[in-house]
Structures are given as structure tokens and as C-alpha cells.
Amino acid sequence: MKIAIMGAMREEIDPILETVGNYTTIEHAGNVFYECTYGGHELVIAYSKIGKVFSAITASVMIERFHAEKLLFSGVAGGISKDLKIGDLVMASALCQHDVDITAFGHPFGFIPEGSVMIEADKSLLAIASKVAADLSVKVKEGIIATGDQFVASAERKAWIEATFKADALEMEGASVACVCHNFNVPFFVLRAISDTADGDAGMDFDTFLKSSAKVSAKFILTMVEHLGD
Ligand code: ADE
């Protein structure tokens, strides 16, 4: 099976490239894609650059040009839930765009006509992740991830996102990737390790913990690949 693994930043895919070892490099649509085999599967790996637009382009290219049949996202997030400490893993049951606002027309926050506020992740990938977590004795919280084109470093904004979307974590790419995969009918999974708690110290914590948390997420994603069937 052809599996796409994407991150947003170089730091999020570097640990994956280091583990898979041999890969070929293809430049396309302003980005670099890495192809290799791992765990009996063909992989295409890339980082998109930060935000909803670049991540949507990369996910689309992985599906249309590289024919990915499943897409796994690995990276870091700001924690909202009290259960989530720096380095903890969260997998999205559903994702939403916290920065979409056409409430002036009577719609709820996060809603785009002909769409839905939440996009659900693939249930069988979530089940495989739960099994891998149990096998490895690793805790992975399942919850809602809110995405927006903002680095959130404010207790007020974080509280608003939690109250409005019941979100457990926030980041800047998951919901746009979910939207692409949903439209192309490609099963997807979004995993994030917490790098900060999206409040006043978020910028400093992010810089301190980006690499270590990205590694935690990358390691889990590759173990999942080893457990994916044909
Ligand atoms: N990714 C990791 N931490 C984040 C934050 N605080 N805001 C947005 N995206 C993030």
C-alpha cells in the first residue's frame, strides 16, 4: 500500500527520514517529496510548511500525484486539555477550523456552507493506533483537534477555542489536511505530541520542545506503519 506521511515543519519529518534511511527525492509543486519503502509499504514523506494553505497543497499532491491510499500526519500541537502535558500524544477523532468565521450570516464558528464544522478521522486507523498504544504501553489521548492559521499563545484565545469546539489540542494544519483527504475519500489520521500549552509561554516552550515532541510523534507513526495491513 502507498502511504503518505506528512508534517508541517522539517523538524517533524526529520526523525522519520532518519529512521527509514534510503529514500529518493522528487521536487514538485514547490515542495520536496521523499519516497522509500518501510514496513512492507511504499511511503511518500514530506513537510508542507506551516499553515492550512501549504498543508492542503501537500496533501493534495500526495494523493493526486503520488497516489497515496492513506495519509498519516505527524507533528506537534499546543495542548488544551488538562490531561495533556508536554510530550504527551493526542490523536484526532475529529478536526475543525477554529479561525473560520462567517457567523455574520448566522452560521456557527468553523462552519462553511456545504461542509461541516467537524471532519472525523478514519475509525480503522484510530483503532490500529489504539492497539499500537496498548502494545507499547504508551498513552495516546483521543480528542478534538482545532486548526487555524495562528500560533496561539494566549490563555483567552485558548479558552475560547476550548469552549467553542470542545477541543483538546490545537495546531495549524490538521483540519485542512482532513478536508483534502475527506474530499478525495482517502483515510487519514492526525497524531500530535504536545510542544506547549498555547498560553503566554507557548513561544518559548515550542522552541524548547519542538524537536523532542516531534520525535515522540514520529516514532509512534512509524510503528503504526509497521502494523498497517496490505
Ligand atoms: N503547534 C504547536 N503549538 C502550537 C500553538 N500554540 N499554536 C498553534 N499551533 C501550534
- Residue 123: CB atoms within 10 Å: 10
| 66 Cα to the center of ligand 1, angstroms | 28
Residue 57 confidence (pLDDT) above 90? yes
Q: pLDDT-derived band of residue 229, with 50, 70 and 90 as boundaries?
A: confident
**Domain annotation for the chain: domains and CATH numbers:** 2-227 (3.40.50.1580)
pLDDT at 230: 65
Rounded to an integer, the average pLDDT of 84-91 is: 98
Distance 172 CA to ligand 1 centre (A): 7
pLDDT for 103-154, tens place per residue? Answer: 999 999 999 999 999 999 999 999 999 999 999 999 999 999 999 999 999 9
Q: From atom 9 of ligand 1, which residue's Cα is the shortest distance away?
A: 171
To the query of whether residue 12 is one of the catalytic residues in this protein, the response is: yes
Query: Residue 76: CB within 6 Å of ligand 1?
Result: yes
Nearest to 194 by CA among 222, 226, 158, 228: 158
Ligand 1 contact, 165 CB (< 6 A): no
- C-beta of residue 74 within 8 angstroms of C-beta of residue 12: yes
The pLDDT of 47-58, averaged and rounded, is 98
Q: Check pocket membership of 80 for ligand 1, CB cut-off 6 A.
A: no
Question: 101: how many CB neighbours lie within 10 A of its CB?
Answer: 12
The 10s digit of each residue's pLDDT in 155-191 is 999 999 999 999 999 999 999 999 999 999 999 999 9
Structure-block grid coordinates of residue 186? 482517502
Verify whether residue 120 is a known catalytic residue.
no
29 Cβ contact partners less than 8 Å away, ≥ 6 residues apart? 57, 61, 65
Output the CA 22–ligand 1 centroid distance in Å.
Answer: 31
Q: What are phi and psi of 228, to 5 degrees?
A: -85, 135
Q: Is the CB of 149 under 6 A from ligand 1?
A: no
How far apart, in whole angstroms, are the C-alpha atoms of residue 96 and residue 110? 6
Predicted local distance difference test score (pLDDT) of residue 155: 97
List 87's β-bridge partners, or say none.
none
The identity of residue 22, as a single letter, is: N
With the most atoms of ligand 1 within 8 angstroms of its CB, the residue from 172, 191, 213 to mutate is: 172
Q: Give me the chain's average pLDDT, please.
A: 97
Please tell me if the CB atom of residue 202 comes closer than 6 angstroms to any atom of ligand 1: yes
What is the torsion angle, in degrees rounded to the nearest 10, for the CA atoms of residue 49, residue 28, residue 188 and residue 35?
-110
